[in-house]
Amino acid sequence: MQTLEFESKIIDNKILIPNSVQSELIIENDKMVRVVVFMDNPEVDDEKIYRQMKKEQFLKGYADSDAIYDL
């Protein structure tokens, strides 16, 4: 299996293929391909960062003597 990787945009529900990759895709008609799309989602990343920061801030107030309350 041959793989190609490139970054692109989706415009009008179409994935734009960069000119530098198009020559690699000149193949016979009706060739099946497998497409995997990874989309950046900054909101999710920001939420993960925020939750991690909250956890770290909470644990800063945790002293070793508090361990007696752990089960």
| 22-68 pLDDT tens trace | 888 877 777 888 888 888 776 667 778 888 888 888 888 777 777 77
Give the integer Cα–Cα distance in Å for 71 and 69. Answer: 6
Instruction: Give the residue extent of every domain in the chain.
Output: 10-65
Residue 19 Cα distances to 3, 16, 29, angstroms: 16, 9, 19
Q: Which pLDDT value is given to residue 70?
A: 74
Cα 10 from chain centre: 16
Strand partners of residue 15: 10
Indicate whether this model's pTM tops 0.85.
no
Q: Closest Cα partner for 60 from 68, 71, 52, 69? A: 52
